[in-house]
Structure 1
């Protein structure tokens, strides 16, 4: 990070990088599970679920890239070891139903994951507001949080909630 930009990043940058890396790990896991889920889910109704999961996986991949870019800009390094990703993740596993035709079960698992992501990004916003101000990171987190909230709403709609 450049000297001029450093003065706008207040607080504990190392802790911020750690929090961003945890969110980065979550995005990797969500991307993986949503892609796998799209392949596993069956039935005609499941086609809608599979399409939704593929779209959401693309968004999670975008989030992962945005977080990685910001981590590097802050002088950190994104987690690059899969075992470390699983260890650092706030939500290291999404459990899908054994019955592959249970598209509602798939969506309920995704809904739980999206709500977990919203919590993670809300905590990051709180961290940034608690004397750890960084307008660039805040912008990135706000953007991702908005998309996670949209995902939650989309899944709730598909479930009829």
Structure 2
């Protein structure tokens, strides 16, 4: 635990326990996205599926990186990421990705990912706005801004694939 890190953030006026809970929700979102995206990359079939699956795998790996960054920050602030996988679904902002019945429907897969990325973008935007309102925490702000930027890039990539 980072006692000094927590102390500095608290001194800035941030409710660290509330911040940790928000970060845990985002952490859960990233694990869930990683799981579903990895699954969709494996299940996608049909013409063009190989290329789309490769993009989905890359995004899944980004989501795994995000959960690691969030876990680090949660621990630095004196918290602990959820220990039970089933708790992730309970606390997540974005608890599921709509997996289409027909995994040959690549358009439906891409739309599901766009929807999931949109949920993540909203969650990170909410954290950034909250941080701006309650007080400065430049480390958490930087981590969340970095992840938000990548989520926006993911959404844009899949909107481009979809032709939007």
**TM-score, normalised to structure 1's length?**
0.96
Give the secondary structure class of the aligned counterpart of 1:44: coil
Q: Deviations over 1:35-87 (max 9, x none)?
A: 00000010121112111110000000000000000000000000121111110
CA contact (8 A) 1:12 1:132 kept: no
Aligned pairs for 1:9-28 within 5 A: 9=10, 10=12, 11-28=14-31
Is 1:74–2:89 an aligned residue pair? no
Q: Distance in 1 between matches of 2:3 and 2:103?
A: 50
Candidates 140, 158, 161, aligned match of 1:158: 161
Q: Distance in 2 between matches of 1:132 and 1:23?
A: 20
CA contact (8 A) 2:3 2:77 kept: no
Alignment length, in residue pairs?
A: 161
**Any stretches of 5+ residues in structure 1 without a counterpart?**
none
**TM-score, normalised to structure 2's length?**
0.94
Counterpart in 1 of 2:56? 53
Q: Distance in 2 between matches of 1:135 and 1:68?
A: 17
Aligned pairs for 1:9-158 within 5 A: 9=10, 10=12, 11-158=14-161
- Select between 146-155 and 80-89 the one with higher mean Cα deviation: 80-89
Q: Distance in 1 between matches of 2:6 and 2:36?
A: 36
**Any stretches of 5+ residues in structure 2 without a counterpart?**
none
Closer, same or farther: CA 62–54 of 1 in aligned 2, 3 Å? same
State the 4+ residue runs in structure 1 displaced beyond 6 angstroms.
Answer: none
